Amino acid sequence: MKLADLARAWPERRTPGLDAALSMLFLTAFGIKAGLFPLFFWLPASYHTPPAAVGALLAGLLTKVGVYAMIRVFTLLFPDPHASVYSVLLVLSAVTMVVGLIGALAQRDFRRVLSFNLVGHIGFTTVGLALWTPAALGGSILYVLHHMLVISTLFLMSGLFLRQRRTTDLTALGGLYRSQPAVACLALIPLFSLAGIPPLSGFVAKVAVVAPMLGTGHYLLAAVALCVSLLTVLSMARLWEEAFWKPAPMPSPSALPHSRLNVRILAPIAFLITLTIALTALAGPVSSVTMRAAEQLLDRNSYIRAVLGEEASRAVR
């Protein structure tokens, strides 16, 4: 109700200068939370340090809270798609994609690679707001759903390495395809999905994000997104080769290369992979839902009317 009250009262007090200043302040605050360039400095330095289950929870939800807050506040308070803040957000989204994936390719730790991939893919979740069309915003919402599942799964996968090898350093990993072939095959699904390999959910989500870029004439932005997708394929292929496919190095005395992975450990991973497959299979209905959600987000009068009533909605017109 507070947001609806604010959206109703704000038009009476706004000025162009105040709008610009406040929108940039909100962009900075939510950009830190979401991990946008250049405000992502805290994320790669922290996400590889907690236990795998905590890291999975943070990776799946924390940055998405910042993305949602940005979408909710900007669609209510700054409904002018031609405002300069959206041009800034468009550029930051593109740069975030590129910088995140370049950073991922420079890392030699499984979880740090995932952390930089997380940064890079945040750009896909914010670019829909910058384009300000239902199709673009709906694509970004779909990308949020996909990314929550696969990045959480991969952080949980890193816990298997910590359990078996006591490290997530890629130089000390390898051989899991031979010692745990079923687990390695399960890992292919989130790895390939994050890379955007068809027909998995990552491919569907990336098409949903890139198609509106082409539809609105942002061809350079679409080219950047496609290049970043190729970098993601390279990053995920390297993770697969280094962590699963290559022969295992000589074990250290503290390693447990043959420790048993029981059902209790694998069940959360299998559950999230099942949800990823379900999202792939139900991509059409889910896309319809995200499109309706985007249309409602961009129609702030409907939100104000639903919360405060018809009279309040008329007051903001």
CA 14-93-58 angle, 5° bins: 100
Pick from 33-37, 77-81, 136-140, 225-229: least confident: 77-81
- In three-state secondary structure terms, 96 is helix
Q: Specify the pLDDT at position 190.
A: 92
Distance in angstroms (rounded) separating the CA atoms of residues 201 and 315 = 42
**Which position has the token pair 């041009």?**
87
What are 133's two structure tokens? Answer: 């069309």
pLDDT bin (cut points 50, 70, 90) of residue 250 is: low
- In the block, tokens 């390695």 appear at 184
pLDDT in tens, 11-21: 766 677 778 88
pLDDT tens, residue by residue, 201-210: 999 999 999 9
Give the pLDDT confidence of 146-169 residue by residue, as tens digits: 999 999 999 998 888 877 777 788
Question: What is the CA angle 104-110-113, rounded to 5?
Answer: 15
**Residue indicated by tokens 């750009």:** 123
- What 3-state class would DSSP assign to 109? strand
How large is the greatest C-alpha to C-alpha distance in the chain, in angstroms? 72
